[in-house]
Chains A and B, each alone.
Chain A
Amino acid sequence: MLEASNLECVRGERRLFADVSFRLEGGEMLYLQGMNGSGKTSLLRMLCGLTPAASGEIRWRSQPIGKLGETFRSELCYLGHHNAIKEELTPLENILSSARLAQESLDEEAALDALELVGLHGREDLACRYLSQGQKRRAALARLVHEKRALWILDEPYVALDRAAIQLIAGLVGAHLQRGGLAVLTTHQAVAVPAAAVRELWLGADDATQQRF
């Protein structure tokens, strides 16, 4: 379903990686690893179509993602370094307004359920600026609870979370994979996602990029 061939990333004068190729089918997860600055985030942003690749091609359902455009984006869920949470709004308003902006139907009941599941019960009506870093991250990740899109791209989803929340998110990703979804994620924490097929991709310095199965 998701196929990358010979991707190259150049940032400024530096070549971060080259010849990165992989293939991901439904129910599979790609676990992207590498040192700081090895280009993990850049690769994820390439897969989303936010950053164009210096060379190489990314295909979704055997069509280049650039050509698919909105069709591809309607199947994509991206969570980046930033939480995409508005500090002035409450967690409930945040989750409802981001669903509306993504043109998804999410009623208040479902949104409250999601917030309760990520442990923000009782904080629904508190402006996000009063929440701790971990709670903000939980509020951002609450959208995964009802997320039905096929491809999840998660950049360091476990940052700032406590152990219980990490298990919860890993469980959500696992359930998504069991439904036949795809996930690409980076993390520096070794967390077992309950899923059948995990592929690993190492982004090394310069030309040490290699793929392991």
Chain B
Amino acid sequence: MLILIRAVIGRDLRLAMRRQADIVAAMFFFIIVVSLFPLGVGPEPDQLRKLAPGVLWVAALLATMLSLPRLFAEDHRDGTLEQLALAPQPLGLVVLGKVIAHWLVAGLPLVLLAPVLGIQFDLAGDALAVLTLSLLIGTPALSGIGAIGAALTLGVRGGGVLLSLLVLPLYIPVLIFGAGAVDATVSGLGPQAHLSLLGALALGGVFFAPWPTAAALRVALE
């Protein structure tokens, strides 16, 4: 079981390395969207500090959305998905591997960039730490939930727009608790409650989402 998940992750990472433009595009999108806000709303530190968690989290959602359509599309086009569906193990495990690989490629870079970008918003050290932590816990949920949407819109014309309409509403709880954790730290309440809920969402997203995703993929393959 673990061997299979590792094989899927290894293959997807290798493919991502051969196609680095996709990763870099999503990272630059994240950097640029976040950097435009201080330029747009002006340099008042108080205002920026208040905006920071929301801006970073919304930018992270959108950057994740960018790479989601490709999660299954390539495998679908070249017939690999059929082979994975016919492999003698649950398709859900394959999806779990792909979700983890997607997070490593599309989620983890955002987490690593967040503390640097947070400085533009004059965030204090503890707020920066909580922001990074919230992204670290929350981005796996984005990959997991997004996989359901990517599978449901597989092979649909104009699937990208439909995917956003399907997935962004499901991202709302992650956004609320993620940005809320930073707000709670800044206002002195402590981020534990928000982070715990975020952790629950991430566990749910990563470990339960692969099964409906697998069901949606089987329908798409019919």
Let me know if B170 is at the binding interface, CB within 8 A. Answer: no
A50 with B4: CB separation less than 8 A: no
Residue of B nearest to A85 (CB): B78
Whether A210 is near chain B, meaning CB under 8 Å from some CB there, is no
Binary CB contact string for chain A from 75 to 109 against chain B (1 if under 8 A, 0 otherwise)? 01010111111111100010001101111000000
Residues on A with C-beta less than 8 A from B7 are 97, 100-101
User: Shortest distance in angstroms between A71's beta carbon and chain B's nearest beta carbon?
Assistant: 8
Asked, given contacts A86-B15, A88-B18, whether A50 binds B85 with beta carbons under 8 Å apart, the answer is: yes
- Number of residues on chain B facing chain A (CB within 8 A): 26
A88-B19 contact, Cβ under 8 Å, with A50-B221, A50-B222, A103-B4: yes
Q: A83-B78, A87-B78, A103-B3 are in contact. Are A74 and B88 (CB under 8 A)?
A: yes
Query: A85-B78, A88-B18 are contacts. A98–B83 as well, Cβ < 8 Å?
Result: yes
B173: interface (CB < 8 Å)? no
Pick from B3, B78, B90 the residue with the most CB of A within 10 Å.
B78
Which residues from 89 to 147 on chain A have a C-beta closer than 8 Å to any C-beta of chain B?
89, 93, 97-98, 100-103, 127
Cross-interface CB contact of B87 among A71, A87, A101, cutoff 8 Å = A101
Shortest C-beta distance, B107 to chain A (Å), equals 21
The answer to the question of A52 belonging to the interface, with a C-beta cut-off of 8 Å to chain B, is yes
A79 CB → nearest B CB, Å = 9
Given the known A-B contacts A50-B221, A97-B11, A101-B11, are A86 and B90 also in contact in the complex, defined by CB atoms under 8 Å? no
- Is there an interface contact between B82 and A101, defined as CB atoms closer than 8 Å? no
Q: Is the CB of B89 within 8 A of A70?
A: yes
Proximity string of chain B (87-129) to chain A, C-beta cutoff 8 Å, 1 when within and 0 when not:
1111000100000000000000000000000000000000000
A73 touches B87 (CB 8 A): yes
A51 at the interface (CB under 8 A from B): yes
Which A residues have a C-beta under 8 Å from some C-beta of B? 48-52, 70-71, 73-74, 76, 78, 80-89, 93, 97-98, 100-103, 127
Please, could you name 17 A-B residue pairs with CB atoms under 8 Å apart, sorted by A? A50-B82, A50-B221, A70-B89, A73-B88, A78-B86, A80-B82, A82-B79, A84-B83, A86-B80, A88-B18, A89-B18, A97-B7, A100-B11, A101-B8, A101-B11, A101-B83, A127-B18
